Structure 1
Amino acid sequence: MTVCYSTFTLMIDFLYRFRFWLLTLVAGLVVVLTPGVRTAVQIDNSLSVWFLEGDPALRAYRDYQARFGNDEVVTLVVHDSAGLLRTPYLGSLSALSQELAALPDVAAVLGPGTTTIAGRGLMAGAHPLLSAQTSEAKVRQDLSRLPTLREQLFSPDFQTTRLLIELKTSPTFDARRADILAKIRGVAARHLPPGHYWLGGVGVLYAGLNALSEQDFGRFLGLGYGLMFLALLLLYRNLRLLLYVGGIVGLATYLTLGVYGAMGYRLNLMTVLLPMVLILLGIMDALHIINERNLVLTEPGQTPHSAALTALRHTLAPCLATMLTTAAGFLALVSSPMAILRTFGGFAALGIVLCLFFTFLLGVLLLPGYQGRPRATMQAAGGLARLYTWVDAHPRQLTALALVLTVAAAFGALRLRADTYTLGYFPDDHAVVRDHQAMQRTWGAYMPLELLVEPRPGHTLHDAAVVQAAAAFADSARTLAGVGRVAGFHTLYLAGLETVVPASRARAALGSQSLLNRVHARLVPDYPQLTRQFIDEASGTGRITVAGPMLSARELTAKSEVLLRMARHTLGPVATVRAAGYQPLYARIVDYVTRSQASSLGWSAVVIFGLVWWFVGSFRLALLTLAPNLLPVLLLLGLMGWAGIALDTATASIAAIVLSLCTDDTVHFVHHYQQLRRQNLAPAAARFATITHVGPTILLSSGVLFVGYLAMTLASLKTVMLFGLLTAVSIAAAFYAELLVFPLLLARFDREKPAVEAVK
C-alpha cells in the first residue's frame, strides 16, 4: 500500500482534533434523515422491487395488465360438506358478492353470486343464478343444462365454490395491499361461517411475506443486537466499549436506512438483512482496534490514552483495505440482473463505508478514556498460542482434513440448484399455508398460469378454427398432473352455445361460424365484465387461464414449457401463444439467481484479489491470501448442495458476502505478518506472533458474530432463518480457514528465506 504511515497519523490526528465538530455534523444528519428512516422501515416486496425497470419480462407483464387489468386476483374458496345449495348460502353468497364488488379497490367479482343465467335461445332474457328466494332445485336445474358454467362455479358435489375478486390497479396499490385484503376478509367474515372459507393468490402471498418481514425485522434485529452486545459485555466487562461498538453499528445502520428511505426505498426480503450485515462488519473492525489497543498498552511507557491513538493509527491501513474489499464484494451484486440484489449490494456498501468512518470517529472520542486492562485479549492469545503449537505439530493431518473437506464440498456444490418457492418462505403452520392447503384440498389447483393468444392475420378470436383449437388445447392441458380447471375466451363461446343448443351438442357447434358470430355479438353488450376477463377487444387478443398447483420457479418453468408446447401444437396454425401474467416473472427468478450468483462471486473475487494485491504489494502473497478465503465459500456451497438448500434471492448473495467477510480478517493477518517479516523475523516466528496478535480478534469476533447470527435461525421467515444459519456456518468456516488453513499455506510457501525476499 503506497500511503505512508505518517499520512494515517495525520488522518487520526485530524479526527481527534475535530472530533466534536464531526460529531455535531453527524447529529445533524441523524435529524435530517429521520423521515427517511421512517419511510425505509416500511415493507415493500412488490414486483418493482424485484425487477429492473427496463426488464423485457416486466414490460411484457405491464402490457398484459394494460389489456386485461390487474391480474392480482384474490381467490376466495367457500366449502361446506353439507352442501352450498342450501338457503343460508344461496342468499349469503349473493350478498357477499355484492358487498365485495362495492369495495373501492375491487374491479369485479366473478362467482355464483354475480352470475346471470340466459334463457334458452339467443333472444331469451336472463336472470341471476342466486338470490335469497332461489331454491336449490332451481339452481340445479339451471346449471344442469350449462355444464361449462357449472364446472367454473362449483365442485361436482356442490360442496365448494370459488369467487375470483379482481382488484383495481392504482399507483398506491402495493402500499395498500394489506388493507385491501383486510377489508375483503372483513366482508367474508360478515357473510360466511368461520372455518368454511379461505383466501389465496399472489397478493395474499405478498401480504403475508410483508407482515413476516416486518415482524422478523423488529424481533431479530433486537435479538441479534442484544446477544452480540451481551457477549461483548461478558468478554470486556466495560460499558464504554459497548457504547463504542453499539455507536458504530447503530449510527451506520441509521444513516444507511435514512439515505435508503430518502431515495424512496422500503425494506424488502433482502434489505431487511442490512442491519445484521452491518453489525457483522462493524464489530469486526472495532474488535481489531480494541485488540490492538490492548496489545499496545502492554508496551513500556504507554498510557490508555496514547495506546488508543496508537492503535487507531496502526489499524487504519488494514481497516481501510478491508473496507474496500468488503464493499467491493457487496458492490459485485450490482452486476445482478435483479433489482432487489442490486439495491441490497449498493446500500450494504454504503453502510460499510459508514462503519469505517464511525469506527475511527468514535474511536478517537471513546477509546482514549478507556481504562480497562486487556484480560479477554490476553486469555484468547494464550489459548491460540497453544492451538497453533498443536497445529504446527500436525501439518499433514490438518492438510489432509482440508483436502477432504474441499473434495466433499466440491461434490456438494455440484448438487446445488437454483430455485425459489414463495410458499416455502412461510412457516408450515402459517395461516397462508393452512389456507392454501385447504383450498387445494376442497377446490383443487387454483394458481393461475396465463397464456396470451393472438390470432394470426386473417383470423379473429371468434373464428371457428381458433375457438376449436383453444378448446382442444384445454382438453390436453387437463390431462397434465396437477392441472385443474382451464378457462379462457373459448369457455365464453362454449357456455354461450350451451344456451342455444343442448349441452351434448355444444362442442360440435364450435365448428359453426354463424352460431359463434351470434354468440360473440351477444357476449360483449350483455356480459361486459365477464368478457373483459378473457377478451381484449382493442387488440383482438384472448386469454387462457390454466389453474395449476403452487410450484417452485423451476417447476413452474418446466410446467409452462409443456403447456406452451401443447398450445403451439393445437393453436399454432391459427394464433401465436406466449406465457403471460405474473408467473413468467416468477419463473425468471431462477435464471436471474443463477446469473447473480456467478456474476457477483466472479466480480467480487477479481476485485478483492486486485485490492489485496495493491495492499500487500505482492502478486504471490495476494494469490495465497485469496485461496483460503475461497474455502469457506466452497464449504458453504457444498453444505447447501448436500442439505438441498436451493439458491434463491436470499442465499444467492451469501457467497459474495462470505468472501468479503473472510478477506477482512485475512488482510489484518497478512498486514501484521508482513510487518514482522520486514523486521527480519523468521517465518515460523512471524506466523506465531501474528496468530497471537491478530488471532484474538478473529476468535472473539467469530464467537460474537456466530452467536448473533445463529439467533436468526429462530426467525419465522425462512429467508431470514437460512441467511442466519448459513452465515453462522460461514463464520465458523472462515475461522477455520484463517487460523488453521492459512498458516499452513504460509508455512509451505514462505519458507526460511531472507525476510525481504520471502514476502515478494
Structure 2
Amino acid sequence: MIRLTTVFKQIIFFRKGIIALLVALVGMSLYIIATNQQIDNSLEIWFLDDDPYYQTYLKYQQEQGSDEIIVLMIPVKDSLTPELLESVRALQKEVDSLPFVKTSMSLATAQYPYISLKGIQLKNIFSEERGVDTYKIDEASFLSNYLINKEKDQLLVYIQLAPTAEIERYRSEIIPKIRQHINSHFRDYALSGSPLLTEGSNQSVATETNLFAVVTVVFVAIFLFFLLPDRRYIPLALAAIGLPVILLFGLMFGLGIPLNMISMIIPSVLMVYGLSDIVHVINIYARHLETSSTGHRVDDIAIGLQKSIKPCFYTTVSTMAGYFALYFSTLPALRITGIFAFIGLLFAFILVYVISAIGFYYLGFKPRPKRKAGWTLSRIISAVNRFSTKYPKRIIGVSMVLILLGGYAISTLEVSTNMLNFIKPGPYKSQYFAIEKATNGLIRFDISVESKEGKDMTTPKTIKQVGVFQDELVRRGLLTDPVSLVNFQRYLEKAGKRYYAFNPRLRSKIRKE
C-alpha cells in the first residue's frame, strides 16, 4: 500500500510532463483516427487462414474466379441501339484494364453457341455490322435473362473482381474507381452486388459507431451530474472516460487494424466501464476528505485513491479476463475485439487514476459543500435500500417472472445472416432492390459439382444427372435462372433439329462436341 501512495505522489510530482505527454498522444491519436479510419466487414474476418472451408473457397476463386461481382443496371430508354451498346463495350474495356477486375460481361460482348455445318461455334449477340440479334436474345433466354430484363428496358453489366487475395490492397479504391468510369459514360444507372453491400455495411458501422459514441457521452454526462458529489468533477470524469477510447482507436488505426461490426461496441464498453470506475474513485475520495482528511493535499489524494483501487482493480481484472477470452475464438473478428477491448480496459484503468490524481490536485483538496437538494448518489442508494427492504417478496416474485420470460425469449431466438440488416436505408438498399426486381433475384452464386469417383463430368449420362439436380433446385424455389452445361446442351439439342433434317451426320458430330 505504501508503494501505491508513492506512485500517486510521483504522478502528481511529474504532472506537467504527464499532461504534455497525454496532450501529444491524444493529438496524434485524433489525427490517425481522422486520416486512417478503416472499416472491414468482408468475409475474411469471419474465417481463420487455415480453415478448410475458407481454403476451399480461395482455391475455387483461383480456378473459377471471384464470387465478388458488381452488377450495373442501365436503363434502356427506346431500344437497344448500337450507340448504347458501343458505350457499354467501351466501359467494359476501361473496367477490364483495372488491376482488381478479372473480367466483365454484358449484351455488348456476350456470345451464344450456334450450330453450323462446321460444328458448334460461338457468335456475338451484338456486332457493329448487324446490330443486336434480338431473335437470339429470345431463343437463348437462359443466357440473355442475365443480360437484359424481360421487359427489355434495363441492360445489365457484370463486373467480376479478381480473387480476394489479389485485391485486398485495392479494397478502398474498387468502388470509387468503377463509379468514376461509369460516370464518364452514363448518368442514370443503378449499382449493386456483394462489394457494394459490404461498402454499405461499412458505412453503416461507421455511422452507428459515431452515433453510439455520441449517445453514450450524453448519457454519461447525465449520470455524472447525478452521481458525483460535486459538479466540478464532471470535466475530470469526462476526460477519464473519453481519453482511453481516443488512445485505443489511435493505436488500432495506427497499426492498420480496421473496425468491424463487432469491435464497434468497444467505445461504449470502455465508456460505461470508465463511468463506473471514475464514479467510485471520486466518491471514495470525497468521502475521505469529509471523514478523515490529513489536511495535506498530496497525502489526501494518495490515500483517497489508494482506498478505491482494490474494488476497481478486481472489477477491471474480471472484465479484462472476460474480453481476453474472446482471443481464443476461431473468428478473427472476435479475436480482434477481445484483444483491443482488453487493451482498452487496461488503458481505462490506468488513466482513471492518472487523471484523477492530477485533476484532484488542481481542483483543490476540499470539495464545495454538498448539494442538499436533488438526486445525489447517496439519496439514490438510500431510496433503493428503503424500497428493497419494504417489498422483498414482491421484488423476488417479479424477478422470477422476468427470468422465466427471459428464458422463453431465448428459446425463440432466431439468427439472421441477411446482410441487408446491416445496411441503413439509402442508395445501397434502394439500388439493390431495384436491380433485384428487374432481374428476379440479384444474389448470384456458383455450385461446383464434382464426381465422387473423379470421372469426367461432361459425359451425356453425367450431364443428365446434373440436369435432374438443377431442375429439382428450381422446382423447390431455391434457384430462378440457373445456367450450366445442361442449359447449353438443351439449347443446342433444340437448335440442332433444324440442321439434322438436312444433314443427318451432323447429329453425331454435335453430340461429340
Q: 1:400 to 1:91 in 2, by over 3 A?
A: same
What does 1:151-170 correspond to in 2, within 5 Å?
151-169=145-163
Higher alpha-carbon deviation: 468-477 or 87-96: 87-96
Q: 1:417 to 1:504 in 2, by over 3 A?
A: farther
Deviations 1:40-67 (A, max 9, x none): 6222222232222222221111111111
Structure 1 residue 476 corresponds to structure 2 residue 468: no
Structure 1 residue 467 corresponds to structure 2 residue 463: yes
Q: 1:12 to 1:477 in 2, by over 3 A?
A: same
2:264 to 272, 275, 298: 272
Question: Matched residues in 1 for 2:166 and 2:59: separation?
Answer: 19
Match of 2:353 in 1: 360
Question: Matched residues in 1 for 2:369 and 2:57: separation?
Answer: 61
Deviations 1:296-341 (A, max 9, x none): 2222655583543332111011111111011112122223221101
Give the share of equivalent positions with the same residue, in percent.
20
Match of 1:113 in 2: 108
SS state of the match for residue 200, structure 1?
strand
Superposition RMSD in Å: 3.6
Match of 1:381 in 2: 378
1:215 to 202, 207, 215: 207
Q: 1:131 to 1:360 in 2, by over 3 A?
A: same
**How big is the shift at 1:287?**
0.9
What does 1:279-290 correspond to in 2, within 5 Å?
279-290=271-282
Deviations 1:229-284 (A, max 9, x none): 46646876978634422332343223323433344311122223322221111121
Higher alpha-carbon deviation: 247-256 or 387-396: 247-256
Structure 1 residue 63 corresponds to structure 2 residue 59: yes
Structure 1, unaligned runs of 5 or more: 519-760
Question: Matched residues in 2 for 1:32 and 1:79: separation?
Answer: 48
Q: 1:496 to 1:293 in 2, by over 3 A?
A: same
Match of 2:323 in 1: 330
Does the 8 Å contact 2:100/2:162 carry over to 1? Answer: yes
What does 1:357-756 correspond to in 2, within 5 Å?
357-371=350-364, 372-373=367-368, 375=370, 379-427=376-424, 429-457=425-453, 459-481=455-477, 483-494=479-490, 500-502=496-498, 515-518=510-513
Q: 1:516 to 1:271 in 2, by over 3 A?
A: farther
Structure 2, unaligned runs of 5 or more: none
Q: 1:304 to 1:188 in 2, by over 3 A?
A: farther
**How big is the shift at 1:288?**
0.7
Match of 2:289 in 1: 297
Question: Matched residues in 1 for 2:433 and 2:14: separation?
Answer: 62
Q: Which amino acid aligns with 1:355?
A: A
Q: 1:317 to 1:336 in 2, by over 3 A?
A: same
SS state of the match for residue 126, structure 2?
coil
SS state of the match for residue 345, structure 1?
helix
Q: Which amino acid aligns with 1:384?
A: I
SS state of the match for residue 206, structure 2?
helix
Structure 1 residue 100 corresponds to structure 2 residue 95: yes
Question: Matched residues in 1 for 2:432 and 2:357: separation?
Answer: 56
Deviations 1:539-571 (A, max 9, x none): xxxxxxxxxxxxxxxxxxxxxxxxxxxxxxxxx
Question: Matched residues in 1 for 2:176 and 2:68: separation?
Answer: 15
Q: 1:239 to 1:304 in 2, by over 3 A?
A: farther
Match of 1:587 in 2: none
Q: Which amino acid aligns with 2:386?
A: T
**How big is the shift at 1:117?**
4.6
Does the 8 Å contact 2:12/2:361 carry over to 1? Answer: no
Match of 2:237 in 1: 245
Length, aligned pairs only: 503
Higher alpha-carbon deviation: 436-445 or 110-119: 110-119
Q: 1:423 to 1:456 in 2, by over 3 A?
A: same
2:173 to 173, 179, 191: 179
Q: Which amino acid aligns with 1:477?
A: L
SS state of the match for residue 118, structure 2?
coil
Q: Which amino acid aligns with 1:112?
A: L
Question: Matched residues in 1 for 2:114 and 2:408: separation?
Answer: 67
Q: 1:503 to 1:164 in 2, by over 3 A?
A: farther
Does the 8 Å contact 2:245/2:270 carry over to 1? Answer: yes
Structure 1 residue 74 corresponds to structure 2 residue 37: no
Q: Which amino acid aligns with 1:163?
A: V
Does the 8 Å contact 1:333/1:342 carry over to 2? Answer: yes
Does the 8 Å contact 2:197/2:423 carry over to 1? Answer: no
Match of 1:758 in 2: none
SS state of the match for residue 255, structure 1?
helix
SS state of the match for residue 199, structure 1?
strand
Deviations 1:65-86 (A, max 9, x none): 1111222111223455x66535
Q: Which amino acid aligns with 2:306?
A: R
Structure 1 residue 225 corresponds to structure 2 residue 217: yes
SS state of the match for residue 41, structure 2?
coil
Structure 1 residue 85 corresponds to structure 2 residue 77: no
| TM-score with structure 1 setting the length | 0.59
Q: 1:382 to 1:302 in 2, by over 3 A?
A: farther
Question: Matched residues in 2 for 1:104 and 1:244: separation?
Answer: 51
Question: Matched residues in 2 for 1:289 and 1:146: separation?
Answer: 75
SS state of the match for residue 76, structure 1?
strand
**How big is the shift at 1:143?**
3.4
**How big is the shift at 1:132?**
5.7
**How big is the shift at 1:175?**
5.3
**How big is the shift at 1:393?**
1.8
Question: Matched residues in 2 for 1:94 and 1:49: separation?
Answer: 36
SS state of the match for residue 440, structure 2?
coil
Question: Matched residues in 2 for 1:217 and 1:431: separation?
Answer: 20
SS state of the match for residue 471, structure 1?
helix
Deviations 1:495-516 (A, max 9, x none): 56666555999xxx9xx88535
Question: Matched residues in 2 for 1:502 and 1:153: separation?
Answer: 26
**How big is the shift at 1:35?**
8.1
Question: Matched residues in 1 for 2:384 and 2:419: separation?
Answer: 45
